[in-house]
Structure 1
Amino acid sequence: MWLLVLKKLKTQDVMSRWCAGNANLNLLCCSLCSRGPDSHEHLFFECDVAKQVWFGVRGKAGMETIHNTWTDIFEYLVGITKSNMAEHIIAKLVVAATAYFIWEERNRRLFTDRRRHKDQLVEIVLSTVRMKLHTMRFRNSIHTTRVMQEWSLPRGLLVADDDSG
């Protein structure tokens, strides 16, 4: 996530700055949609494929109103950075998992002949987040109960207020 936040992932736009004097450098198009440039701005989450994955997971993170630009997503995350509310923890996990699997798919398509469909990527993101949530404990509240039902999590992950501290 730090590499993404700092825009240091090795996308073609970043690598082109290393070779500024090389006129023969041809930038690749996005390996996910073949329409836009291989850049941070495009890949997270303006690319058609990445956008479809984002639309497939953002509702489960309570982020339906957040636009599909990295700037808007990042600004939302900054606003909830210190929050321990279940919904906010899930939002952070969903964004991190989505970015990770979009980047992984980008590399998979660049360096192999294997590719996954956007629906497969959505399910991978959601199942990864669900597995992580199984390792956590949450304070019992109406909001947490709703979130746990939404994610099909067992009630055993809830802790009473007097058990948590």
Structure 2
Amino acid sequence: MVILDRLPTQDQLQQMRMDVEQRCLMCETGLKFRDHLFACCTYSRQIWTAILCMCNIERNVCSWDMELQWLCAKLKGKSLLVFFLKLAWGSFVYHVWEEHNRRKFRSLSRDVAGLLDCIRKSIQLRVQNRSILMNDVNKKLCVSWGVPL
């Protein structure tokens, strides 16, 4: 849904002639549309940057299209890093959208650390019973994500 730009974001709802709030519920500055919500929003950007850091990747988040292009190039192969990045990307998109809806419909919010903790826990659950070859790179990755060795 996200990649196809089918989420009911502000720009999508306005095309259906619905009256919607103009500001982003996460950072309260930008407009609510996919590119802003997942790449430009300061809240989301902090989360994605922290996820990349936990994967031992230093990278400046640019735009939705550039991140998607970068991910398509990186998410090839069967390494543990690729596995973590796939889980992290999916979890990031899911949890940011869930946080958006929590704020909109329930007036509840989590800070960056709280949402990052949810992402970390969801990935830990997916990885905990997986057999992992323990080399230095994989060990560092598991320690960074809090996955028991």
TM tier, shorter chain? Answer: 0.7 to 0.9
TM-score, normalized by length of structure 2?
0.87
Residue in 1 that maps onto 2:8? 10
C-alpha RMSD of the superposition: 2.0
C-alpha spacing 1:87/1:26, structure 2 compared with 1 (3 Å)? closer
The letter of the residue matching 1:10 is P
Residue in 2 that maps onto 1:44? 38
C-alpha spacing 1:62/1:6, structure 2 compared with 1 (3 Å)? farther
C-alpha spacing 1:30/1:115, structure 2 compared with 1 (3 Å)? same
Contact 1:31 1:110 in 2 (8 A): yes
> Identity of paired residues, percent?
21
C-alpha spacing 1:31/1:152, structure 2 compared with 1 (3 Å)? closer
TM-score, normalized by length of structure 1?
0.79
Q: What 5-or-longer segments of structure 2 have no aligned partner?
A: none
Contact 1:51 1:68 in 2 (8 A): no
Contact 2:55 2:144 in 1 (8 A): no
The letter of the residue matching 1:16 is Q
Query: How many angstroms apart in 2 are the aligned matches of 1:82 and 1:61?
Result: 15
Contact 1:62 1:91 in 2 (8 A): no
Following TM superposition, where does structure 1 have runs of at least 4 consecutive aligned residues deviating by more than 6 angstroms? Answer: none
33-42 or 64-73, larger mean C-alpha shift: 64-73
Determine which structure has more spread, i.e. the larger CA radius of gyration.
Answer: 1
Match of 1:120 among 106, 114, 124: 114
User: How far did residue 90 of structure 1 move?
Assistant: 0.6
Query: How many angstroms apart in 1 are the aligned matches of 2:113 and 2:136?
Result: 31
User: How far did residue 80 of structure 1 move?
Assistant: 2.9
Give aligned pairs, total.
149
Residue 28 in structure 1 maps to residue 26 in structure 2 = no
